[in-house]
Amino acid sequence: MKYIILILLFTLITGCNAGKNDTLKESGRSLSELNDAPEKIIIDNKTYIIEPYVWRNLMPVTNPKDKTGLLMSIKLKTQDGTAIDQKIKASTAWVINNTDVWETPVAETELKEQTSIEYYARNGPEWKPEQKVNVVIEIEANNKKYLLQAKDQIIQAVY
Please provide the average confidence, as pLDDT, over all residues in the chain.
85
Residue 26: per-residue pLDDT:
76
pLDDT in tens, 80-89: 999 998 889 9
Distance CA 132, CA 126 (A): 14
Check pLDDT > 50 for residue 67: yes
Residue 35: per-residue pLDDT:
97
Residue 48: per-residue pLDDT:
97
Check pLDDT > 80 for residue 9: no
pLDDT bracket for residue 110 (50, 70, 90): confident
Check if the beta carbon of residue 119 is closer than 8 Å to that of residue 113. Answer: no
End-to-end CA distance of the chain: 56
CATH T-level fold of 2-158: Immunoglobulin-like (2.60.40)
Q: Which of 23-27, 71-75, 101-105 has the lowest mean pLDDT?
A: 23-27
* 92 φ/ψ sector (left φ>0, alpha ψ -120 to 50, else beta): beta
Dihedral (C-alpha) 97, 52, 49, 20: value to the nearest 10 degrees? 10
Who has greater pLDDT, 137 or 111?
A: 137
Residue 148: per-residue pLDDT:
98
- Taking residue 96's Cβ as centre, other Cβ atoms within 10 Å add up to 21
